[in-house]
């Protein structure tokens, strides 16, 4: 058993080369100084040292995957950032509406399954609130990740795509509710299948 562990132990506790100690920072030399007394015992460990030398002290340039978005500087350093006019529809009312929609989804999701009766009005309300909740969430992601000042065309395009998908899903849910079994009944059938 001890013979199986020796190569691994040699790899873990191998001494750094003299070149590493001479080219490294003084802090690195002080860390590796106690290990420098023990010679490297195998070719595998000696070949692994360049990789071990690069990894702890790696400081490469940052290379982003995509190029940066177009930048435009407005004003000077001493000018404050413009503060938009307060609009309650985009501020507190919008925030409150989002929270009411999210909170009302909880009882509307549980009620059809707990009560055992299927009400088309309750089902339609659940579908509507799910659609509004999803639309608000995707709209918030577009607003966060695609700023209007940096990529106005992309943001406008994504907003129109979102509106188109929301309308298509609304029509599909309406057709499913009126011409088929409805959302909650479909979930019940899938759950018990």
As annotated, the binding site for heme b includes 133
Which residue numbers belong to the known binding site? 133, 145
* Cβ neighbours, 10 Å, residue 182: 22
Could you list the residues known to form a binding site for a ubiquinone, using ranges. 145
Structure tokens at 131: 């659609």
Are 131 and 173 a contacting pair, CB within 8 Å?
Answer: yes
Rg of the chain on CA atoms, in Å = 31
Cα–Cα distance, 118 to 187 (Å, whole number): 12
User: Residue 67: exposed, middle, or buried by beta-carbon count in 10 A (0-12, 13-18, 19+)?
Assistant: exposed
CA distance 86 to 82: 12
């Amino acid at each position: 058993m001890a013979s199986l562990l020796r190569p691994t132990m040699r790899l873990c506790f191998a001494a750094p080369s003299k070149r590493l100690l001479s080219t490294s920072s003084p802090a690195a030399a002080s860390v590796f100084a106690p290990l420098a007394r023990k010679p490297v015992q195998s070719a595998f460990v000696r070949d692994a040292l360049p990789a071990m030398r690069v990894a702890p002290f790696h400081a490469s340039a940052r290379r982003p995957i995509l190029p940066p978005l177009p930048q435009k500087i407005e004003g000077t350093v001493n000018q404050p950032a413009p503060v938009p006019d307060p609009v309650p529809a985009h501020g507190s009312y919008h925030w409150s509406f989002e929270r009411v929609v999210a909170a009302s989804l909880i009882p509307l999701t549980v009620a059809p399954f707990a009560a055992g009766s299927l009400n088309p009005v309750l089902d339609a309300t659940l579908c509507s609130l799910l659609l509004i909740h999803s639309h608000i969430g995707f709209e918030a992601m577009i607003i966060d990740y695609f700023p209007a000042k940096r990529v106005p065309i992309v943001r406008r395009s994504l907003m129109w795509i979102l509106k188109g998908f929301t309308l298509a899903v609304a029509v599909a849910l309406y057709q499913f509710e009126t011409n088929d079994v409805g959302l909650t009944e479909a979930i019940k059938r899938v759950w018990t299948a």
